[in-house]
Amino acid sequence: MSQDLITIELEPREILGKSVKHLRTSGKTPAVIHNHGKDSIIVQGDSIAMLKVYRQAGKHHTIDVTTSGKTYTTLIKTAEFEPRKQQLTHIVFNAVSANQKVEAEIPIHPKYDEGNESSPAERSGLMVLSNLDQIKVESIPSKLPDVIYFNAEKLVEVGDHVMVSDLILPEGVEVKEDANQTIASVFEPSAVAAANDAAGGAAEEVEEEAAEATEDGEATEEAKTEEATTAKE
């Protein structure tokens, strides 16, 4: 696990609803801190600094957020981006307690023997396809790892695979997903190419339609939180 301390200072935010678009054009990103069932804390911060923190922490590394003289240990719950430009538009932080277990999504990476940079299957010309690139786990914040590994040296022949149960878990970390779920599998390159050729055109159309639907119709966490805040006022 990483012990690197990630910090950011945010300022209180009074602008809510559709007016936040003016914040973004001025280089600010709106955010919310959910605080253990208490009233949410509405904040904003420098867009570049917030994007840097998101890239450093993801959804698995704690962040010390300071606002109005108080510091909250948090995890990022959601981070929203403008679909086409991929600009960060909103973050929801969850305040967490040091000794209380939390759930987080941890990236999954292959682990190779010393001197190797790929699995035995890939070294022999086969393909390894990943089904999962992150996993939900539970732990106290200080035990959350930055990465969880699996032994990729087990991937040798077509049909070989690794499952969630094969993950190398640090002490104090519990997986919250199906242990029999496949993480990665070995295939013949020709079989993968044939499947891609058969599905390529239709898949691209589905992806475009899904992106448009997300952009046009999906309610954001920001809107929900700010509607509740406005209702209280």
pLDDT per position as a tens digit, 102-154: 999 999 999 999 999 999 999 999 999 999 999 999 999 989 999 999 999 99
Q: CATH number of the domain at 7-96, please?
A: 2.40.240.10
Where in the sequence of the chain do the CATH 2.170.120.20 domains occur?
A: 103-195
Fold (topology level) of 103-195: RNA Polymerase Alpha Subunit; Chain A, domain 2 (2.170.120)
Sign of CA dihedral 95, 101, 102, 106: positive
Q: What is the mean pLDDT of residues 224-231?
A: 45
What is the Cα–Cα distance from 195 to 202, expressed in whole angstroms?
Answer: 12
pLDDT per residue as tens digits for the range 183-203: 999 999 887 777 777 776 554
Question: Using H for helix, E for strand and C for coil, what is the string for the chain?
Answer: CCCCCCEEECEECCCCHHHHHHHHHCCEEEEEEEECCEEEEEEEEEHHHHHHHHHHHCCCCCEEEEECCEEEEEEEEEEEECCCCCCEEEEEEEECCCCCCEEEEEEEEEECCCCCCCCHHHHCCCEEEECCCEEEEEECHHHCCCCEEEEHHHCCCCCCEEEHHHCECCCCCEECCCCCCEEEEEECHHHHHHHHHHHHHHHHHHHHHHHHHHHHHCCCHHHHHHHHHHHHC
pTM over 0.85: no
Residues 52 and 40: beta-carbon distance below 8 Å:
no
What is the Cα–Cα distance from 122 to 120, expressed in whole angstroms?
Answer: 6
CA 139 to chain centre: 16
Where in the sequence of the chain do the CATH 2.40.240.10 domains occur?
A: 7-96
Query: Could you report how far apart the first and last alpha carbons of the chain are, in Å?
Result: 42
| Residue 99 confidence (pLDDT) | 87
Write the CB contacts of 115 (distance below 8 Å, at least 6 apart in sequence).
Answer: none
Residues 35 and 58: beta-carbon distance below 8 Å:
no
| Residue 218 confidence (pLDDT) | 39
Q: What is the mean pLDDT of the chain?
A: 84
| Residue 221 confidence (pLDDT) | 44
Tell me the backbone φ, ψ of residue 230, rounded to 5 degrees.
-65, -40
